[in-house]
Amino acid sequence: MRFSAPIRRLAVALAIVVPASALAQKPAKDEAEPFFDKGPIHELRLVVPLESESALRSAPREYAQFELWVDGKKLGTGGVKLKGAAGSFREYDDLPAFTVRLDKFDGKERLHGLEKFHLNNSVQDESRLCEWLGSEVFRSAGDPAPRVGHALVKLNDRKLGLYVLKEGVDERFLARWFGGTKGNLYDGGFCQDVDAELERDVSGGPKDRSDLAALREACHEADMTVRWAKLEPLVELAPFVRFMALEELLGHWDGYTINANNYRLFVPRGGKARFLPHGMDQLFGDPAASVLDMPFPLLSSSVMKRPEWRKLYRRELKEQLPRIDPKALARKLEPVQARLQSAFAKWDKEAARVQEERYRELLQRIAERHTFLESEIAAPEPKPLVLKPGVAVEIKNWRAHSEVDDARVEREPDDGHEWLIVGCGASARCVAGFRRGLLLDRGRYRLQANAHFANVEALDEEGQPKGGVSLRISGAIADEAHSGSGRRDLTFEFEIEHETADVELVLELRAKAGSLRVPADSLRLTRLR
């Protein structure tokens, strides 16, 4: 259906049966299995010649030739590049993270059969255990996830420290989990939802990306009833709902379910899409993070807005909760931690001491998380926010959201108010702001805010919302968007036709340059009827 100004309409769906089939199979054992299971923590030395060092400084995302030495012996040559996004990327002369391809530059040797692997610097996880733990939980549920180990890493003669070594998601990985590579594997990139032009890592499916285009078309369908019907033949929904539940239970706030980030998408030729977890280095950060809030990503929000699928999601939460039982996870972590300490303490006693402290803190957060979840999962469905007609109510607890890595999205006190701040970075593309999910009942509503903006140059992109400063709900087009400098009272009206609906309120800056400031207490919602 369409949104028409000034009234916007939200629909509630008809019942659709969720498919129960799953693509993944039990992965066959391979040469790398003993290494990831109980193998040694290797010392890996990356020998990078001067020419490659210069290349990695100037073009860090491009592969450069290097030699890999393992425990003092040369294994072979290959390609290495720097990896990481906002928060984890470090330059070559700092504490870089790496992606290694041993098949590059005619490399022939493999590390325990691995052709591609990652060496993560763990600057956001001093325990070095979150990635291992997340992989263990997903794989214990039968869901495809890369295996994780550890290594002591040197860059030429410079000690970098204890790194997380993670299996690459490549043709070999797909063959183990899915029985073949006939399909397209897409990289979710940095905060890119499934409607973006995702980078393709494996090209075994349609060369014209028609598989991704079909998913994009379905997700852009404004009428939720039609969207659900289009999604059913495109996505393995039962495994996806389990994927959502596991990400939420783990507190993986930077994954697809919550943040449209850190994921891989495999679409087998003629089959349904499967999501794979990635970037799980910040688990259990907030033990009290709700698993019942409305997420904004296109697919996870589509699940939560459909009553039948939301029930399936809640059932998965209950069924998967035992996988993060504190005692069970502690038993799994104990031997891994012992191996880390045995190797790391010989390299750097002080860093090993800090790692031990972070390990203890992780165990505590897991216990706190489990206690919170037991209570929340047992709770009834959230009730809609009930507003008296004609009374403007302040909406609090807005969360920052950015689709680019250089935008400024902050809160700061000033002149007796808390201000929500959004500013453009050097990339000349800012799509950022604040969002708030709400459950509302039937009625017509008006959202309002007082916007102060300066030097805003609108960013207008085909198929995207209006450029400039705007106020709207997710899935709708703003009545107006402002550029330049000034102060405006923003308003946006919408209507909910059915008994209840989850909506996401959006305060947004889409600009090439400029900044936006909004007093938090000016963000108000009024029920009109």
Judge contact between 526 and 445, C-beta under 8 A.
Answer: yes
**What pLDDT is attached to residue 414?**
82
**What pLDDT is attached to residue 18?**
34
CA distance 518 to 513: 17
Residues of the chain where predicted confidence (pLDDT) is lower than 70 = 1-23, 463, 498
What is the domain partition of the chain in residue ranges?
33-171, 176-323, 385-527
**What pLDDT is attached to residue 1?**
27
pTM of this structure: 0.76
CA distance 150 to 121: 11
Judge contact between 191 and 259, C-beta under 8 A.
Answer: yes
**What pLDDT is attached to residue 12?**
32
**What pLDDT is attached to residue 21?**
36
Could you tell me how far CA 404 lies from the centroid of its own chain? 13
**What pLDDT is attached to residue 296?**
82
CA distance 408 to 482: 19
**What pLDDT is attached to residue 23?**
54
DSSP H/E element including 44:
strand 42-47
Buried b (16+ CB within 10 A) or exposed e, 493-512: bbbbeeebbbbbbbbbbbbb
Strands 484-519 and 9-10: parallel
Going from the C-alpha of 293 to that of each of 78, 88, 386, 395, the distances in angstroms are 45, 27, 17, 15
SS3 content of the chain, % helix, strand, coil (to 5): 30, 35, 40
Chain position carrying tokens 């609090």: 396
Of 257, 323, 338, which Cα lies nearest the Cα of 291? 257
Question: What is the dihedral sign for C-alpha 178, 184, 189, 195?
Answer: negative
**What pLDDT is attached to residue 443?**
94
Q: Which fold has domain 385-527?
A: Jelly Rolls (2.60.120)
Judge contact between 471 and 435, C-beta under 8 A.
Answer: no
**What pLDDT is attached to residue 4?**
32
Q: What is the DSSP string of 101-156?
A: ETTGGG----BTTBSEEEEE--TT-TTS-HHHHHHHHHHHTT-----EEEEEEEET
